[in-house]
Copies of this chain bind each other. A is one copy, B any other.
């Protein structure tokens, strides 16, 4: 089966490669010709537009930066909605606002095109390894049709509910991760400010109720001053903005999320947007004048 694959960035490229490794033919498109050429060399068929990549395909995958890009590629002029046929499936694996997923899906539904939102977590390393965690929203029977295909790119593909549920789950994940990073940053800065070695605090509390994957993965980075991404602040800003906007559109304030978002915004303003999100510790270091690093 030939798959249309649109969006060949840091994530899209290895995901597409994994599909091809498992025997799927891919017709690919990206705004940047360089990305298309790389995938052509890897064995993909090149398309000159998103619509061309999508035309006649049973399944089209999009992996794009954010809601406006997905809306544009799907519903814009020369969008893939015009190229796709009744009964085909769009799997949008971008991390976008869940309400955007729903809107796009409603328009596609009128044309008889199915859609799933299937954002991923795990970042570039797991995209390369094909071990992403994939969170899926849409009709369950459509999910079941493409589940094996998704598992070429991920080690899990969890069904979360109707269209938008994948992105809602992803946003919930990003809220918890961001706040947990902030929790560690605030707590360990206080410890250092009080004259206590943050490494000893880390060892003392990580085994108890305060323990978390974030603490184990990110606090050592904070203490070593290692802010190589991992997951970039600018991407976390994008996700948290989507979370806050989703909340507001649904009539819910996110008082904690918005605070962490503002800290990330300050770091972005300080030129640190490309650093790992654990560099949030630098916000606290700057505000307090304390260095938490060893």
The residues of A with any CB-CB pair to B shorter than 8 Å are 98, 121-122, 133, 135, 137, 156, 158-162, 164-165, 168-169, 171-173, 175-180, 182-184, 186-191, 193-197, 200-201, 203-205, 207-215, 217, 243, 246-247, 250-257, 259-260, 287-288, 290
Contacts and interface: CB of A to CB of B under 8 A. Distances in A.
B213 A217 contact: no
A81 B182 CA distance: 41
Nearest to A191: B172
Given A165-B200, A175-B190, A179-B180, 20 more contacts: A161-B195, A161-B200, A168-B196, A172-B201, A173-B204, A173-B208, A173-B210, A176-B184, A179-B182, A179-B186, A179-B256, A180-B210, A189-B252, A190-B243, A190-B252, A209-B214, A212-B212, A212-B214, A212-B215, A251-B288
Contacts of A171: 187, 190
* Chain A interface SS verdict (over half): helix
A194 B160 contact: no
Q: Give the number of copies in the complex.
A: 2
Nearest to A289: B251
B288 A207 contact: no
Given A204-B135, A213-B211, A246-B190, A196 B183 contact: no
Given A193-B250, A209-B121, A211-B212, A175 B187 contact: yes
A121 B161 CA distance: 38
A228 B45 CA distance: 60
A232 to B, nearest CB: 14
A233 to B, nearest CB: 15
Given A194-B250, A213-B209, A213-B211, A203 B158 contact: yes
Given A133-B208, A180-B183, A195-B162, A201 B169 contact: yes
A6 to B, nearest CB: 25
A87 B200 CA distance: 28
Nearest to A249: B194
7 contacts: A165-B195, A165-B196, A180-B210, A190-B243, A208-B213, A209-B214, A259-B259
B246 A210 contact: no
Contacts of A243: 190
Contacts of A195: 161-162, 164-165, 168
A76 B173 CA distance: 50
B161 A210 contact: no
Contact of A176 (B161, B164, B187): B187
Nearest to A212: B212
A212 B180 contact: yes
A164 B219 CA distance: 22
